[in-house]
Structure formats: C-alpha cells, structure tokens
Chains A and B, each alone.
Chain A
C-alpha cells in the first residue's frame, strides 16, 4: 500500500468534519442532506483504506453497501424536502418554523389543531 493507513484515516476524519460542519451550519435543507452524504462517504473512505491495509475485500464491500444505503437515505430525505416545500414554499430551516402553512387544495377534511 503506497499511502499509509494513517493518512487515509486523517483524510476520512477531515472529510467527516467538513460534512458535519455542512450539516450543522447550512441554512438549506438540501445542503443539510449533502452534508449527511459527505459524512457517510468519509466513513466509506476509511473502510476502503482499512480493507487495503489488511488486504481484505471486506472494506470495499462495506463501501458498496454504504453507497446503496446513502442512496436510500437521500430518497427519503429529498421526498420530505419536497413535501416541506409544497407546504411552506421554502426550504430554509428557520422559515419553516415561522412561515404560515400553505393550504393543500386536495385536503378534504379540516386540519387537526394542536390544541383542540
């Protein structure tokens, strides 16, 4: 292995921290999901590096599974973002709390209230 495992681990840690900072600080729901993806990929980097260090195929298998799980995660997350955008016409996390709900024209019954 040309690149030592420590360097791979360091790269993984840096990418992971960048993803975490992205998740915590961005004010856009889609960028939050991108941050989550970056965190998952950082773990995949470390898995591949570790697998190479031990000359095992297991690390790369893990990375493949992580890619598949990440795709599922994005699909769930983006579906929710679409729902939120339809309800509020905004994907800013702070606007979501305050902006009024856009009424759904298809909803037949009256909405339930928090405090009846």
Chain B
C-alpha cells in the first residue's frame, strides 16, 4: 500500500497543471493565467517547504522521499515560483498561449521533482524525459523569432540523442548487475566499476545529466536555446533545470562511492573542458543571453569539481553551488527581462545607464555578477570556496589552480557587463525603467539573500551537509 501523503507535493503540482489545462481549453486571458500561476506556485512553494521533513519509500521502493529530495524539491519549486514572478510582462509569448506556457512549466517542474526523488533507473529516465519535452516546446514558444523553430529543434535533437545514449548506458549497467535499483546498485557498483562494461555503461549513462547541466561535450545547445527562448524560459532553464540536474548527478556519482580513478578522470576532463570552453566563448558574446548561457557552461564545470571530489564537503559544495547559481542567475535574468522592453533580445551595451534608469536593478546586477565571478562577500564566493576546498581535500591542487585561472578569465566579461551598466553613458536620454513595488521587493530580497549567503552561509551549508548524509557509504 502506497503512502500517498508522501506524494502530496507532486500530486499538488499535477493538479495545478490540470488547472492550466482547463484554462487552455477556453479563450486566452493572460491576466487570469498570471494571477492563477502566481497563487498556485506560491502555495506549492509553501507546501514543499512544509513537507521538507517527510521521509519514506513510495511505489514499491522506486521513489525515495528523504531530506535530500525534499530540499531539492523546495529549491526547484522556488525556481518555478521566481520564474512565474517574471511573467508579469510575458510579451515574448503569444497572448493566446499563456495558459499553455504555464501548463508546460508546471509539468516540467513536476518532472524535475520526480527526478529529485527517483532511485530507480526507469523512473530517472522517464522523469528526465518528461521535464525535457516540456522545455523543448517552451523554447519554441517565442513569438516571431527570426530563426523560427530551428533552435528549438536543435535543442530537441541534442536532448533526445543524449538521453538515448544515457538509456544505452542504463541498459549496460542493468545487464551487468541484474538490478536497476540505486540502493542495490550502490552496494555492488564500487567493487566492479573498473570492469569495461560497467565503466562504459556508467559513463554513457551520465551523458543525459551532462546535457541537462550543459557540461562540455553536451553544451552546444545552450547558447542557441537561451537566445531563442522567451526570457522567462531561459531563466527557468538556468535555474530550476540546473538544480534538478545537480540533484540527480550527485546521486549518480555517489553510486561509485568515489572509489574509481577512471571515473574521476572522465569527470575532471569534462569539468576542465566546460570551464575553459564556457569562459573563452563567453568573452566573445555581445548578446547578454548568449553570454549568460556560456557562463552557465562554465559554472557547470565548477559544480563538477565539487561532485568529482566525491566527499562530504564536495557534495555539500555542489548543493550549495546549485542554490547560489539559482539566485545569481535568476537576478541576472530579472534584469534582462526588465531592461528588454517588448520581450526583445538585448545586447550588453543596451544596459548603458542602468544605474540611473533603475538603481535597485543595477545594484542587484552588480551583486549577482560579483557572485558569478566569485568575489566576496557574495554567495558565489562561498560556493566556490566550498567546492575548491573539497578538491583540495582530495589533493587536486592543480585542478583548483586551473579553476582559479578560469575565474580570472570570467572576470573580464562579467566586469564588461557591469561597465555597461554603471560607467557607459547611454547614447540618448535614458528612459527610466518602471519597477513596481513587488518587483522592487523581489530585487531587494535577492540582494539580501546574496549578501547574507556570503556572510552567514553556516545554516545553509549545515542543511546541505545533512542532505548528503544518506549518499555517503
């Protein structure tokens, strides 16, 4: 008998999706859709936070509800809620399609929540696919984009190909062990990870998660998809989707018990490659969303440092990094949504004079970019410190040095954006950006969170540490 109480946040999200499904059937009313989305997502966030203490197994043990999954669900839901907060001006999407837009966001959130709890290869595969399909369609929702459906199709082909590779890896792992359940695999994988079939299967099965996180060989979709998607969808991909990818990747790497040097070398390679490729490519970008996409690729590399360290500190660091990345990337996209009128794409120099046009947004952007570059006392600095410390514990000093060099490279383009926002004089008389009171409060909350996370990370790191307790042998 299944304990349905444990499954309540997911059922709630499904019901919320059902509400939008019924809205789709009627005539599109953007105001009503937005209000409903705000209320439903806020209530869902409260619900996921309230259920954070739940523990147990659902559906014959293939669905594990524990502190790890529940905190990740709350994080994913906050990504969803914050994205909906940006939807007041949803001019990048056709008016008749707003309810479909929220429906797909809901479904994607639901699938990511399932992903955070999945402990069976089949549930992992299915929830990963559901979350991706919604995103493929959402990327295509951009109204009147000159390149049309091509970037969305590219995203689809990359995603489907990497998930097919992942599925083949799962098949090899299942064929080697005769079980697809993570709890049973966890006891058997570390001893046999160096067998060719197991190693190949395991590395192939990581590819689907690498795609989600936009790690080096699977990152090529990111700039085009970010650029082509409506700003809100880009924000969602950069926040909630990345957090879910970190959740499942940490679980998968924890399977090996950190015993295998070969797997560690593969992860070190993808980490260094994605840091370097992301940072070097970001330097050349003019479009601010492409720049943020390549910076996501670089940050995926830093997250991988924490994950490949495979110790308590490393997992804690990776989880904390996911949280900080969510806050910082969201703040950047908040500024993009506000600075780009009519849902257009903007270049970096379009931010000129932002400190006069909207001081609070300029300050939020300043802190977010400092955080992304890893300058204290922001939350991004603490996150980098944690993952680098974890790598030092494993004796990977040279990896930390490479990462530090990358941080220096990344300063160049982050400061370039800041220079545009603070020091470049706008070509014409600057038009003030109207920032409503709730939006101002949201920006202030982000500012406070970024500084508080940098100065007092103790509670958050303690929580992240408690989450990882079940992952270590």
Contact = CB atoms under 8 A, between A and B. Distances in A.
Interface in B137-187: 137, 140, 142-146, 148-150, 152-153, 156-157, 160-161, 164-165, 167-168, 170-172, 174-175, 178, 180
Contacts of A101: 146, 148
Contacts of A84: 148-150, 153
Nearest to B345: A114
A1 interface: no
Interface string A15-27: 0100110010000
A50 B347 CA distance: 52
B157 A36 contact: yes
Contacts of A112: 92, 142-146, 342-345
B12 interface: no
B145 A36 contact: no
A88 B147 CA distance: 10
Nearest to B164: A39
B136 interface: yes
Contacts of A51: 174
B290 to A, nearest CB: 11
Nearest to A111: B144
Contacts of A53: 175, 178
Given A39-B168, A66-B167, A47 B148 contact: no
A83 B308 CA distance: 41
Contacts, number: 127
A61 to B, nearest CB: 7
B33 interface: no
A88 B148 contact: yes
Contact of B174 (A39, A50, A116): A50
Nearest to B169: A43
A59 B174 contact: yes
Contacts of B142: 112
A97 B157 CA distance: 16
Contact of B178 (A43, A50, A73): A50
Interface size class of B (residues with CB under 8 A): 35 or more
A17 to B, nearest CB: 10
Contacts of A46: 168, 171-172, 175
A110 to B, nearest CB: 7
Interface in A47-85: 47, 49-51, 53-54, 56, 58-59, 61-62, 65-66, 69, 72-73, 76-77, 80-81, 83-84
B129 interface: yes
A72 to B, nearest CB: 6
Interface residues of A, number: 53
Given A111-B144, A112-B343, A69 B129 contact: yes
Nearest to B181: A58
Please indicate which of the listed interface residues B140, B143, B153 has the most CB atoms of chain A within 10 Å of its own CB.
Answer: B153
A43 B136 contact: no
B153 A65 contact: no
Nearest to B159: A73
28 contacts: A9-B175, A12-B171, A16-B164, A32-B157, A36-B157, A39-B167, A43-B164, A43-B171, A47-B174, A49-B175, A58-B174, A61-B122, A65-B125, A66-B167, A69-B125, A69-B126, A72-B133, A76-B133, A77-B160, A80-B136, A107-B144, A109-B144, A110-B144, A112-B144, A112-B146, A112-B345, A113-B146, A116-B345
Q: Which 8 A-B pairs have the closest CB atoms?
A: A50-B175, A111-B144, A39-B164, A46-B171, A54-B178, A43-B167, A87-B148, A83-B149
Interface of A: 5, 9, 12, 16, 19-20, 23, 29, 32-33, 36, 39-40, 42-44, 46-47, 49-51, 53-54, 56, 58-59, 61-62, 65-66, 69, 72-73, 76-77, 80-81, 83-84, 87-88, 96-97, 101, 107, 109-116
Given A46-B168, A58-B174, 14 more contacts: A16-B168, A20-B161, A23-B161, A36-B157, A36-B161, A43-B171, A46-B171, A66-B167, A77-B153, A80-B136, A84-B153, A87-B149, A96-B148, A112-B144
